[in-house]
Copies of this chain bind each other. A is one copy, B any other.
């Protein structure tokens, strides 16, 4: 089942094709929905026959699982890079947004939207859910950090995190690979979503519009 270790290439021929398969599958799932894409669709995109896919994955469920695993991995990568490079909470959050967007619209994309987690096989589902949870928690951690260091306004980090991650996760629904849009995305998403995090600048007088100060209410 695993490729011969004698193969010279750094990433074996097998792994290369397997990745191509995952990217093609992700593109199909995002474009046509899960139920709307047959293995034949995915295979045809690669110039193959449906049956050939079974050389790379046990079945359709595993294909989806692998797509999600890959998405989780790339998401984690973006987040870790952001944490490593950002000087404070806000910068880390903004960078995460940018890196994640860049990942999705770049050559390593697309990342599959996780629309079908519930129909994964028990163990796969648990694993993906756990990864998602950790990812969310890590992002919320960034927000916390930002609140503490003053670079982010006090807020409900859980909800704020959900809002930002939602905006990101939805991208594959409407973005389908055109270069010009990719550029606008990379420019605008970090800006708009980041702006929502910034603490209000010290104001000379009270703002009658804001009924109360929003404290950090997260669990």
> What is A's interface to B at a CB cutoff of 8 Å?
31-36, 113, 115-119, 153, 155-156, 158-160, 162-171, 173-174, 184-185, 187-189, 191-198, 201, 203, 214, 217
Whose C-beta in chain B lies nearest to the C-beta of A210?
B191
Knowing A34-B34, A166-B169, say if A201 contacts B201 (CB, 8 Å).
yes
How far is the CB of A12 from the nearest CB of chain B, in Å?
32
Chain B residue contacts of A34, Cβ below 8 A: 33-35, 115-116
Counting chain B CB atoms within 10 Å of each CB, the highest count among A169, A170, A194, A203 belongs to A170
How far is the CB of A162 from the nearest CB of chain B, in Å?
6
| Interface contact A164-B162, CB-CB below 8 Å | no
| Interface contact A163-B189, CB-CB below 8 Å | yes
Chain B residue contacts of A187, Cβ below 8 A: 156, 159
Chain B residue contacts of A162, Cβ below 8 A: 167, 170-171, 174
